[in-house]
Amino acid sequence: MKFKDIRKSGVLLHPTSLPGEELYGDIGPNAFRFIDDLSYMGQSLWQILPIGPVDQYNSPYSSTSTFAGNELLISLDLLVEDNLLNQKYLNKFRSLDKVKTSFIYFSNYKRSLLKQIASEFHSNANDNIKDRFNTFCKNESYWLDDYVQFCVLKDCNSHKQWFDWTTFDYRSADVTFYKVIQFLFDDQWKKLKTYCKSKNIKIVGDMPIYVGYDSADVYHNKELFQLNDSGLMKFKAGCPPCNYQEKGQVWGNPVYDWINHEQSNFKWWRQRFRRLLDMVDVIRLDHFIGYQRYYRIPIDESTAENGHWDDSKGDELFDSLAPMINKNNTIAEDLGDINPEVIKLRDKYRFPGMEVFQFNFNPSLSLENSTNHSVVYTGTHDNDTIIGWLNSLDQKNINSNKFSKTDLLNYFNCNEDIINWKIINYVMSLNNYICIIPMQDILSLDSTCRFNTPGILSENNWKWKMEEHLNSTVKNKLMELTIKNNRKI
């Protein structure tokens, strides 16, 4: 069965938002239960955000590696089942008040537990687990060795950024620790992915266009980025001013040296796609514009107003990736300041694009004429929830739509209590083969549950978490709409 040959639907929910006893969702029993719920509701897609190591703000789009896994997603429950962690240590971890309320305390404590597990791994692991570990280290050496060296050197240099390092000696025991941690993540993730496959659910992953400056990717591949002889960035990535951000956005990532990427036959990119396609079934290409042209901002500028566009090497890159990616396993996030050249690049490779209800809907010109080859959403991780967006319509004109909250309620002939379900049904009824609904919209949640507000550093970003699993009323409602709109496989 191909990705796009029948109507289907899915749910957008990052694993960190899964319910459970801890502050942070993980890929243990609650993830498997969520997959059961997706299957019950007739969903065939689970869309997630990047699953790499996160920064102090917990942003999945600011990672120390595009290849490695987020160790905070490792399930301690599953480690107990494998006799790699004593239950008493897990009980103590979950009993601490700070672990329940502080992300920094939670993450530091969990990492200390993982370090203890890694130090005892070869004593506690059975032969089968040890064999899987050895196979993992061999098969993933093309990225694992560089990442582990980066992590160990970062520890030796008091967690300073790599361009401030002065110490380059480390112990082999530290190398083993990071390899074990990455194995535990990979092993658990592959089990979850296998379970998804048994339930006919495909995982839609996410590939950010850029990587973090303080990352193993940049440290080991400096020639692939626009850096000076000292390793400092010449330019930083972002996007120009627009209706939503009057001074644009400064992301701070280093921009690529596309000429050097082409001269290497895009080896790093091919490895990057290979790794992600091993973890997910479908890749969403974040900021697809960046594959046709990129916006670079002088390093000393505090806003994006004085940046300028330059050409990328998207055609050459996607030609080199032809054996791996195609219209059935790739989605182009073609939102924002697109031009004919971006559309031409997308259509050349027949990648489905994206449409978002909050951006595209207008009572006088609806989404009903949209192409069935695009993926339609009620909103994305960067948008407000449907309820939050609805409440904002009378407060400020944040988009090009010239209608009010009352107009929208009248259009759907309903009150506020069920407007999210009316909109979900509307999006599901469209011609698009694929529609994806964020979990917050399914749960009728307001702006307080928004996952991310782009362009700002906020303690509320990336923190939302489901309080409990879906109840039968919600599950049955989504299942009914899925069947009604011929999206249940």
Q: Are the CB atoms for 391 and 446 separated by under 8 Å?
A: yes
Give strand pairing partners of 236.
297
Question: Can 214 be counted among the known catalytic residues?
Answer: no
Q: How far apart are CA 70 and CA 286, in angstroms?
A: 19
- Beta carbons of 174 and 189 less than 8 angstroms apart: no
**Does the annotation count 368 as an active-site position?**
no
Distance CA 489, CA 474 (A): 19
Q: 468 in helix, strand or coil?
A: coil
For residues 28 and 16, is the Cβ–Cβ distance under 8 A? no
Which amino acid, 114?
Answer: L
Phi, psi of 11 (to 5 degrees): -125, 135
Long-range contacts (CB closer than 8 Å, 24 or more residues apart) made by 425-429: 425/481, 425/484, 425/485, 426/357, 427/357, 427/367, 427/376, 427/377, 427/378, 428/9, 428/481, 428/482, 428/484, 428/485, 428/487, 429/485
As given in the structure block, the two tokens for residue 1 are: 């069965």
CA distance 78 to 127: 17
Give the DSSP letter string of 16-39.
GGS-SSSSS--SSHHHHHHHHHHH
**Exactly one of 382, 407, 446, 480 is catalytic; which is it?**
382
The C-alpha atoms of residue 248 and residue 261 are separated, in whole angstroms, by 27
With a CB cutoff of 8 Å and minimum separation 6, the contacts of 97 are none
Q: What six digits make up the tokens of 274?
A: 């290979």
Catalytic residue among 174, 286, 334, 384: 286
Task: Check 146, 174, 206, 333 and give the catalytic one.
Answer: 333
Structure-block tokens of residue 420: 């999210």
Encoded tokens for 170: 């480390």
CA distances from 346 to 54, 269, 310, 338 (A): 30, 18, 18, 11
- Please indicate whether residue 286 is annotated as part of the active site: yes
Catalytic residues: 286, 333, 382
